[in-house]
Structure 1
Amino acid sequence: MGVDVAGVGVTGATGVSRRGLLLLGLLAGCSDPDASYRNRVDTGWHRDDLEALLLRWHSHAVRPDGSFQLAMDRSWRPLAQPELELTGQARLVYAFAAGHEFFPDAGYLKTARRAANFLLERFRDPVHGGYVHSVGPDGEPRAQIKRAYDHAFAMLALAEVYRVGGDVRYRDAALQIWHEVQLRFLDPAGGLYNECQRDWQPMAGARTQNPVMHMFEALLAVHHACGDIQAEQGARRLGDFVANKLMQGLADGGAHVPEWYDEQWKPLPTRQAGGYIDLGHQFEWSHLLTRGAVISPIYSQVAERLLAYALAAGYDENDGGCYLRRFPDGGAPDLRKGWWQQAECLHALMVGAQATSRNDLWRRYEQTLTLIKEQLVDAEQGGWRLADALPCKSGGCRDQQPDPYHMVRLHQAALKIHG
């Protein structure tokens, strides 16, 4: 898959047709030239839900050593948590650091710093460098493999703590992670190894786009926080890898990024082989690449193509929201609706509508927001419902609190767009 100088994919036999280009042009033209529709972000709800989420998590998750109790039931009672995993801990560090910007008197920055210090002291490998996957309740290492996905969230969290608090040690720690990722996780094909042994020996197995996506997100955050040129170059390297290698162009002008690949980054070809297209990730890539246009103008056009596919293949035009999966070899799609996919869908619709002033995206933003308010926001217990398959009344929701990372990112973007 290639990208031409105009940022519209070129894929040979699967290249963008003239009809597809016309479709994209017509969609782009469904806009409000006076930008009056940019005020359709429900700022009050986004702020209120962000405040409610952070208050609940701050009341129930903070442990005396600075780490977090992440496993809780719907009523906020703690569940067994035999290990503390780096990704979950880092995501809550990010949430509290981001919350400080909007609620500076709530004590969230202090909490984020204490938890960031816990990450640096307990997850850091003093022998080989990098960060282990998990530690026990006593803070001692448990699973000592190293995961690219974990490192992306640790870098994201540290960059955000630096951005809102200004302590350079967190900036330096974030940059050190990227230095080690370049040395240890980059594979010859241009992507990332999923996992390495403690001594950094890569572990064999299929590849996934997910750590690539979140490493791109983290590098954008580092670049935004401190303007580091290496972070910018790293984000460009990963973004170009996705646009040129992973993205699959379609004849109608849309495009998607498959979820799983072999060790040469060829997409797994069938459902039976483990291949699928995660529809929530198409929405997520769309808003991340829109943000990434600051480092490459190509990315905004790639984002439009991914959003076009996500809407055509994954959006529920009747009730709003995002379906779960499509499959490369056809067959019946998975039309369940999970909780985080709805957050990423709403995020992408809002960012895309703000970037293009497209009325059809604002309409879908409002439709999906209604779905979230009615079916995911837990009016009885607070937080969101951990839905594997909406609606909850049919038994598709677990008795557990989902961590607030996706929701915080959504609300943060909404408040920044409006303000």
Structure 2
Amino acid sequence: MPDAPRSASQPELTALFATVQQHFQDVIVPLWQGPGWNAAMALPYEALDAEHRPLPPQRYRAMACARQLYLFASLIGDVPAAEERAAALFRSLQRHFHDAEHGGWFYSIDAHGAPLDQRKDLYTHAFILFACAHYWAKVREPLVASVLNAALEVVAQRFATDDGLYEASLDRDWSSLNTGPLQNPLMHLAEAFLATLSVRDDTAVQTALVVLCDGMHKRFIHPDDGVMLEKPLGAVDNWFEPGHQFEWYFLLESSALLRGSTLHRSLSRAFSATEQQGVNQQTGAVRAMLDPNLDGRPRDETQRIWAQAEYLRALTLRPDSEALIQRQLLALQQRFLHAGGWYECLDRDSAVSRGDMPSTTPYHLATCYRGLAEYFG
């Protein structure tokens, strides 16, 4: 790797982080308290344009509602009216998306509140579990605990497969769609299990998490490079995403239960090579997709803000990383954040390729900043 940039002094780096945090609280969070909030539906719009106008709603997703529930639950005590907004989002999750007939939660509703995509996907259920764990930690309300338990039960009884992994998607009545397991929903399920274990002792969840990570190592880790693939080994047209590699690394490294596991060891060994091939060493830009072998051939060089955030968060758990944290925090601030919010995507030449602001992105920024706050201590 080329020489890292000059290391900032600790006060200088702390001041930079404080500026980025202030931008989050003063600019980004108010977008979802004001123009991004559909008061009639009690749901966040899916996205705002660069002028803070809601994009014409085509749908509302349960996953987006859950991510915003996590966001405002995490802000309780720090941001005015955060608790009221979290309560409204929790009610909307049940009101709009819960399937009273078959159990679980729909994927989406249409612009008028009618069920749209009624399939049951693991990604959605993982975020409902994740959000409810964090929300319950703040409010300790029995109804929140009941939803948390219901989500765990659905995941265990409906999505689980014999090999310790989980189907990515099922039909509304839980019949098979033959999707099999996919990396991204499974990663967020691991994240949700960790969130659950952070707020209560749960032997069943702990066991499920360990078995899940063992299954991920067997089914998704490239045998030569140790990188996490997006589809199981042997699948046609496979690829890997540096952002997800960094996201997995943070989850495993931050967990006393998972640190030292075979999965953790694989991703730790592959971290430097992922940086070399997946991160532009001049700009700090994280590339979107690479071919499975770490041979330097990017498949997609789009720069996404969530991947930038995940790399930065992962660096907080790497040794001797202060200079790289400085570089990446500056890259996030100077290349993605702006006075009106953020740029969602840049192209390979760093031109803005997606200027709208989805309601799901503040989740990534919030978890990144939480990791940074713990790093600065």
| Pairwise CA distance, 1:55 | 2.0
User: How big is each residue's C-alpha offset from its partner over 1:138-172, in whole Å with a ceiling of 9 and x where there is no partner?
Assistant: 33322110000110111111111111222132122
Conservation of the 8 A alpha-carbon contact between 1:158 and 1:173: yes
Q: Does 1:409 align with 2:372?
A: no
Unaligned runs of 5+ in 2: 1-8
Q: Does 1:180 align with 2:154?
A: yes
Q: Partner residue of 1:319?
A: 283
Counting only pairs closer than 5 Å after superposition, residues 20-169 of structure 1 correspond to structure 2 as 40=13, 42-52=16-26, 53-64=28-39, 65-101=41-77, 103-104=78-79, 106-169=80-143
Q: Partner residue of 1:376?
A: 336
- Identify if the C-alpha distance between structure 1 residues 390 and 405 changes in structure 2 by more than 3 Å, giving closer, same or farther: farther
Q: Partner residue of 2:251?
A: 288
| Pairwise CA distance, 1:67 | 1.4
Matches of 2:251 and 2:362 in 1, distance apart? 18
Higher mean Cα deviation, 303-312 or 341-350? 303-312
Matches of 1:233 and 1:135 in 2, distance apart? 34
Paired residue secondary structure (1:256): coil
Q: Partner residue of 1:26?
A: none
Q: Partner residue of 1:337?
A: 303
Unaligned runs of 5+ in 1: 1-35
Matches of 2:65 and 2:273 in 1, distance apart? 33
Q: Does 1:194 align with 2:159?
A: no
| Pairwise CA distance, 1:49 | 2.9
Among residues 254, 257, 268, which one is paired with 2:228 in the alignment?
257
Q: Which amino acid aligns with 2:357?
A: Q
| Pairwise CA distance, 1:114 | 1.0
Among residues 312, 331, 342, which one is paired with 1:346 in the alignment?
312
Matches of 1:414 and 1:131 in 2, distance apart? 33
Matches of 2:298 and 2:373 in 1, distance apart? 34
Higher mean Cα deviation, 316-325 or 298-307? 298-307
Among residues 323, 326, 344, which one is paired with 1:366 in the alignment?
326
Matches of 2:88 and 2:259 in 1, distance apart? 35
Which protein, 1 or 2, shows the higher relative CO under an 8 Å CA cutoff with sep ≥ 6? Answer: 1
Matches of 2:55 and 2:259 in 1, distance apart? 44
Q: Which amino acid aligns with 1:375?
A: R
Matches of 1:306 and 1:170 in 2, distance apart? 39
| Pairwise CA distance, 1:413 | 1.9
Conservation of the 8 A alpha-carbon contact between 1:194 and 1:207: yes
Conservation of the 8 A alpha-carbon contact between 2:227 and 2:267: no
Matches of 1:113 and 1:232 in 2, distance apart? 28
Matches of 2:271 and 2:10 in 1, distance apart? 19
Matches of 1:309 and 1:289 in 2, distance apart? 18
- Identify if the C-alpha distance between structure 1 residues 259 and 314 changes in structure 2 by more than 3 Å, giving closer, same or farther: same
| Pairwise CA distance, 1:302 | 4.2
Conservation of the 8 A alpha-carbon contact between 1:324 and 1:336: yes
Paired residue secondary structure (1:153): helix
Conservation of the 8 A alpha-carbon contact between 1:375 and 1:391: no
Higher mean Cα deviation, 181-190 or 279-288? 181-190
Matches of 2:19 and 2:187 in 1, distance apart? 28
- Identify if the C-alpha distance between structure 1 residues 369 and 391 changes in structure 2 by more than 3 Å, giving closer, same or farther: farther
User: How big is each residue's C-alpha offset from its partner over 1:20-77, in whole Å with a ceiling of 9 and x where there is no partner?
Assistant: xxxxxxxxxxxxxxxx979955441342133132122212222224211122101110
Conservation of the 8 A alpha-carbon contact between 2:106 and 2:118: yes
Conservation of the 8 A alpha-carbon contact between 1:256 and 1:309: no
Conservation of the 8 A alpha-carbon contact between 2:226 and 2:267: no
Matches of 2:21 and 2:146 in 1, distance apart? 31
- Identify if the C-alpha distance between structure 1 residues 399 and 305 changes in structure 2 by more than 3 Å, giving closer, same or farther: same
Q: Which amino acid aligns with 1:288?
A: L
Paired residue secondary structure (1:224): helix
Conservation of the 8 A alpha-carbon contact between 2:336 and 2:343: yes
**CA-atom RMSD in angstroms:** 2.3
Q: Partner residue of 1:224?
A: 198
Conservation of the 8 A alpha-carbon contact between 2:47 and 2:356: yes
Matches of 2:347 and 2:326 in 1, distance apart? 21
Matches of 1:91 and 1:306 in 2, distance apart? 29
User: How big is each residue's C-alpha offset from its partner over 1:229-268, in whole Å with a ceiling of 9 and x where there is no partner?
Assistant: 2222222221222234322243xxx62011123xxxx342
Q: Which amino acid aligns with 2:231?
A: W
Matches of 1:205 and 1:231 in 2, distance apart? 24
Among residues 270, 276, 292, which one is paired with 2:239 in the alignment?
276
Q: How many residues align?
A: 361
Matches of 1:144 and 1:236 in 2, distance apart? 30
